[in-house]
Amino acid sequence: MDYNQDQKQDRRTLLWAALAVLAILNVVLFYFYYQERQNNRDKDTIIAAKTDEVLSTKNKLDSISVQLDAKIAEIQQLGGSVDSLIVLKQELERDRQALRNSNAFSAKKYEDKIRNYESILNQKDTEIAQLKEELGIVTAKNEELNLAVTGLEDEKQLLSDSVTNYAVQNRELNEKVTIASALRAENISVNALSSKGKERDGGSYKARRIDKLRIDFRLAPNAVAKQDRKEVYLRILDPDGAVLSDMATGSGAFIHNGREMIYSSKEAINFNNTGQTMDIMYGRGGVPFKDGKYTVELYSEGFKIGQGDFIVK
């Protein structure tokens, strides 16, 4: 009898223990379930916020794109230059394409870009206002001229012919004066300097003995030319026609006849109309000279003022 009661008591103990374990398991499962759910909520919140940022940035870029197109069209209509805006438009399109990769999205990066775009658009508003003002002045002057011509119909043709002839004569005179004022380089000679400072002349040199070139010349007197500070650009063309240049030693670019040209070296001088002499140095910058005939060109104030040559053998 006592034995059976002990067995019943043991079974009850095991049952309660099992129930306790189940209860603990349920608590643990509920805790993990709650944590997982909370993590998912946090992730959803982050994703939603990031999505909102991406959409907001996209809308701003789309708006800037529309404004930019409008600015380009308006400036073109007013006769202004839109080259910089075309480049800006291309950059904007790249940013809009990159925005599709949301994994690499950086709100700070795009905020800076948007501020820059908006700043440029504001600057273009000022430029457009200036173009409109200039156009208004031109239009007003044209209207005044039209009124004056209308009141003098009988003399209209004579006045038109006189104005046309005057403009042509004035333009031709200005062109002649400009051409006449151009400098002229005379007695151009090219001397070679070795790395040890030894100088050679004669116009024909061995490549290994050339470390620097010195181009000497005389500026012919010119009573029409302004006596002021002038820059003379030197271009040295190798036997293949390529310009020798080294940006580290003073080479660069200048505008001639509306296009950009590379120069080898340049020198400034105060022109005094006395037939003064000057020289321009060019260092090869570690690049050896190839064999052949080289051409030396001199430019100043939009004109080619002289040419010479030398030989490397």
pLDDT at 131: 81
Mean pLDDT of 269-291: 90
pLDDT tens track for 6-31: 777 777 888 888 888 888 887 777 77
DSSP structure class, residue 287: P
- Compute CA distances 9 → 20, 109, 189, whole Å: 17, 72, 124
The yes-or-no verdict on residue 152 having pLDDT over 60 is no
pLDDT at 96: 81
Q: Do the Cβ atoms of 264 and 236 come closer than 8 Å? A: yes
- Taking residue 306's Cβ as centre, other Cβ atoms within 10 Å add up to 22
Q: Rg for the chain (alpha carbons), in Å?
A: 40
Cα separation of the two ends of the chain: 129
Q: What percent of the chain has pLDDT over 90?
A: 35
Torsion, Cα 234 237 243 248, to 10 degrees, reads -60
The residue among 228 and 154 whose pLDDT is bigger is 228
The yes-or-no verdict on residue 172 having pLDDT over 70 is no
pLDDT tens track for 45-89: 655 556 667 778 888 888 988 998 998 988 888 888 888 888 888
Q: What is the average pLDDT score of the chain? A: 82
Map out the domains of the chain with their CATH numbers.
Answer: 2-123 (no CATH), 185-312 (2.60.40.2550)
Q: How confident is the model at residue 174 (pLDDT cuts 50, 70, 90)?
A: very low
Burial (0-12, 13-18, 19+ Cβ within 10 Å), 296: buried
Q: Do the Cβ atoms of 213 and 192 come closer than 8 Å? A: yes
